[in-house]
Amino acid sequence: MDLAAIRAYAQAARQVAAPNATGAASAGNPVASGFGDMVMNALSETQAVMQASESLTAQNAAGQAELVDVVTAMAAAEVQLETVIAVRDQVIRAYQEILRMPI
């Protein structure tokens, strides 16, 4: 699990969501800003879960956390990351399908 990749996704989502949110708010389109906010929240939550699992791993190495807690946190982080990757893959497939559509 690469925390740098999650941070990169979060930064990219912020850059994409920021112009859309202001443009959607001025155009009166709540759907565009709602989707951007949803993506940002999902990425932020994923990043928080990954950081928590890393923190528990460090605490376990110092003898301050139980191994069961570390394994549970790592499993949650893995599921969260797999979900983000699956959503990303579906978005890419949808984009490619749109590109294949005849004009």
CA dihedral sign of residues 18, 36, 8, 56: positive
Give the C-alpha separation, 69 to 94, whole Å: 38
Q: How many domains does the chain have?
A: 1
* Residue span of the structural domain in which 79 resides: 3-100
What is the arithmetic mean of pLDDT over 69-86? 91
pLDDT for position 102: 87
pLDDT for position 23: 46
Give the residue ranges of DSSP H helices in the chain: 3-27, 30-61, 67-100
pLDDT for position 71: 93
pTM: 0.61
pLDDT tens digits, residue range 13-68?
A: 666 666 544 444 444 555 456 777 888 888 899 999 999 999 999 999 999 999 99
What is the arithmetic mean of pLDDT over 64-86? 91
